[in-house]
Amino acid sequence: MRSAGMVSINQTIRREIGTITTDSHYTVSATIGVRAKNAKNPSTFPGYTIRLVSGDTTLAQLTSNTPPGPANSVNTVGFSWDATSLPDGIQPGDPLTIEIIPGKANGLTPGYLDLNALRISVLGQDGR
């Protein structure tokens, strides 16, 4: 199901979103559409990975190979990352990047990912 503002992607999207702020809590959510079998461009849902990275280090991610809901639906998925304890080699002020990766439809070629309402929230320890 497609909703207003939804886009279909079939390649990795990688965007720098700022820098890592120490003692912060990051929340990522996205709305994902699952196509009906009789959709204009039907396809088997290939899965996805959404992750926060800094350089080559994955900080947090959500990966799923199953649809987040039934056919012809739009569903919200999400994850969070607590930056109070940083991995080795990562420091406050390092670049923070989001990656959105559609799964492979047949194990080789990228499938579709219908995506909408990507949100990234940051809260400090004081709740702001």
CA dist., res. 101 & res. 47, Å (int): 9
Q: CB 51: neighbour CB atoms within 10 A? A: 19
Residue 7 confidence (pLDDT): 85
Residue 66 confidence (pLDDT): 85
Low-confidence stretches of the chain (pLDDT < 70) are 1-4, 37-43, 105-107, 110, 125-128
Residue 50 confidence (pLDDT): 96
Q: Is residue 76 part of a domain?
A: yes
pTM assigned to the model? 0.85
Q: Which domain holds residue 25?
A: 7-123
Residue 9 confidence (pLDDT): 86
Pairing of the two strands 95-102 and 13-19: antiparallel
Q: How many domains, the chain? A: 1
CATH assignment of the domain containing 56: 2.60.120.260
Q: Is residue 13 part of a domain?
A: yes
Q: Is residue 51 part of a domain?
A: yes
The CA distances from residue 95 to 19, 51, 57, 114, in Å, are 4, 14, 11, 27
Helix H or strand E segment including 56:
none
Encoded tokens for 40: 């204009």
